[in-house]
């Protein structure tokens, strides 16, 4: 029987920005293991801000498994962290407590920077490249810098091989900034896939001395220190069965009223340091305002043209979540607000 290399992946207990952790377990299976064939496992929570030193065992419970083409007989195993009783979710386990609904679909647009030696890939040492303009969807070394294209291509291939619904990539507005899109049905499945895609990307950059910078506003300066380079978002597109099949202007307006009412609860889980990014500039709305608009990239929620043309049916784009947000919490909060609005 082949010996499978199972990479158990979980989120650590650091705040406000949890990091991915992983370790390998080797086990024999006749063929690629199914989720229910993967045993719980443990780790030392005192090294990940998840336990005190004295009683430091935490439990890893597999929740999703994806083929890993970087290894012969490899698997990526997304896990939840449980307390030693194998039942109680650890306080850092955001996935365990969110509402789910397989008929609510999510499309996450994950923006990020490639970083090398403390600066975005392609920035000259100690300085700044020419201003934003040619980089978004650009081509050529002067626009995309070194190795970025190779990395994003490899990312696509590894995600597809893993069965992760990656829907596209593009170079973004700032130099060294890129985006990929992940689509999934249900808050947990969509966010599992996004976390796994983040993991795949971070890992494949290691041999190049490149890191993935998820913080939403990593580049300041050179003149007005906060304003000159785009921040990174994680626009979250969403649709429920009711939105796709029934919709209507009256329901849409009720839904947006609920988003307005719960603005602060949404912002609370839309990623750290978001006040640096949601400034009203760079295609964002201010953090303390809520609005929506047709094809409006300066709105909190953008309504695609197709939505209005189809009688207020389809999906909406919440532009406020940032690149470092936890997609479990973002998707969970969106479902919670939607569920507070009666459909009739
Ligand atoms: P833009 O950059 O113009 O905002 P993208 O093409 O980057 O848009 O992203 C659009 C996202 O919308 C994709 O992630 C896609 O999966 C998602 N999407 C498309 N249709 C739906 C739908 N019905 N429900 C939820 N998400 C959707
Ligand atoms: Mn996009
Ligand atoms: Mn984008
Ligand atoms: Mn978008």
Best of 102, 106, 109, 304 for a ligand 1 pocket test (most atoms within 8 Å of beta carbon): 109
Rounded percentage of the chain residues whose pLDDT exceeds 70: 98
* Protein residue with its CA nearest to atom 14 in ligand 1: 107
Cα dihedral sign, 184-190-195-196: negative
Which ligand number lies closest to the CA of residue 237?
A: 1
State the pLDDT at residue 224.
56
| Domains defined for the chain, CATH in brackets | 3-97 (3.10.20.70), 105-339 (3.30.590.10)
Q: Atom 7 in ligand 1: which residue has the minimum CA distance?
A: 109
What spacing in Å lies between the alpha carbon of 201 and ligand 4's midpoint? 20
Residue nearest to atom 2 of ligand 1 (CA): 109
Query: For ligand 1, what atom is nearest to the CA of residue 237?
Result: 26
Q: What's the 314 CA to ligand 1 centre distance in angstroms?
A: 11
List C-alpha distances in Å: 300 to 28, 52, 283, 286, 316: 49, 40, 10, 8, 11
Which residues in the chain land under pLDDT 50? 226
| Ligand 4 centroid distance, CA of 42 (Å) | 38
Index of the ligand 1 atom closest to the CA of residue 179? 7
CA 136 to ligand 3 center in whole angstroms:
9
- DSSP H helices, 141-278, are 141-144, 148-162, 187-205, 241-245, 249-261, 263-268
Quick: pLDDT tens for 238-277: 999 999 999 999 999 999 999 999 999 999 999 999 999 9
Buried b / exposed e along 189-218 (16+ C-beta atoms within 10 A): bbbbbbbbbbbbbbbbbeeeebbbbbbbbb
What pLDDT shows up at residue 220? 81
- 122-128's contacts with Cβ under 8 Å and 24+ in sequence apart are 122/146, 122/148, 122/175, 122/176, 123/175, 123/176, 127/222, 128/221, 128/222
The per-residue pLDDT for 227 is: 52
Summarize the chain as % helix, strand, coil (round to 5).
30, 30, 45
For residue 340, give Cα distances in angstroms to 105, 256, 266. 17, 11, 14
Which ligand ends up closest to the CA of 307?
A: 1
The confidence score (pLDDT) of residue 344 equals 84
Q: What is the CB < 6 Å shell around ligand 1?
A: 105-107, 109, 167, 181, 183, 235, 237-239, 315, 317
Select from 136, 164, 183 the residue to mutate for testing ligand 1; criterion: most ligand atoms less than 8 Å from CB. Answer: 183
Which residue is closest in CA terms to ligand 1's atom 8? 109
**Residue 194 C-alpha to ligand 3 middle, in angstroms?**
15
pLDDT value at residue 223:
58
Ligand 1, atom nearest to 165 Cα: 16
Q: What is the pLDDT of residues 180-227, one digit of tens each?
A: 999 999 999 999 999 999 999 999 999 999 999 999 999 986 655 545
pLDDT of residue 99: 98
Residues 6+ apart with CB under 8 A from 275: 287
The alpha carbon of 309 and the centre of ligand 4 are apart by a number of angstroms equal to 19
Nearest CA to ligand 1 atom 18: 107
CA distance 25 to 140: 41
Ligand 4 geometric centre to CA of 285 (Å): 13
Distance of CA 307 to the CA centre of its chain: 24
């Amino acid at each position: 029987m082949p010996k499978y290399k199972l990479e158990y992946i979980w989120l650590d207990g650091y705040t406000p920005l949890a990091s991915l952790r992983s370790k390998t377990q080797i086990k024999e299976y006749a063929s690629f293991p199914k989720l229910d064939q993967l045993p719980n496992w443990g780790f030392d929570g005192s090294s990940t801000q998840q336990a005190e030193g004295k009683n430091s065992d935490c439990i890893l419970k597999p929740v999703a498994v994806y083929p890993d083409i970087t290894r012969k007989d490899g698997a990526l195993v997304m896990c939840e962290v449980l307390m030693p009783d194998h039942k109680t979710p650890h306080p850092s386990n955001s996935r365990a407590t969110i509402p789910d609904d397989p008929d609510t679909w999510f499309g996450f647009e994950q923006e990020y920077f490639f970083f090398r030696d403390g600066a975005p890939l392609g920035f000259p040492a100690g300085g700044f490249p020419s201003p934003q303009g040619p980089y978004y969807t650009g081509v050529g070394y002067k626009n995309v810098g070194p190795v970025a294209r190779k990395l994003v291509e490899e990312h696509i291939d590894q995600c597809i091989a893993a069965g992760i619904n990656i829907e596209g990539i593009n170079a973004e507005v700032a130099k060294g900034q890129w985006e990929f899109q992940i689509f999934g049905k249900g808050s947990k499945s969509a966010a599992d896939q996004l976390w796994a895609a983040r993991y795949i990307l971070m890992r494949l950059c290691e041999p190049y001395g490149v890191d993935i910078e998820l913080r939403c506003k990593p580049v300041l300066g050179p003149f007005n220190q906060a304003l000159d380079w785009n921040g990174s978002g994680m626009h979250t597109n969403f649709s429920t069965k009711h939105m796709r099949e029934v919709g209507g202007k009256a329901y849409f307006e009720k839904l947006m009223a609920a988003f307005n009412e719960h603005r602060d609860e949404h912002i609370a889980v839309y990623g750290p340091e978001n006040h640096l990014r949601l400034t009203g500039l760079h295609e964002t709305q201010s953090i303390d305002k809520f609005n929506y608009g047709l094809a409006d990239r300066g709105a909190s929620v953008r309504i695609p043209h197709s939505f209005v043309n189809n009688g207020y049916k389809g999906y909406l784009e919440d532009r406020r979540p940032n690149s470092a947000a936890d997609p479990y919490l973002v998707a969970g909060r969106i479902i919670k607000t939607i569920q507070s609005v009666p459909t009739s």
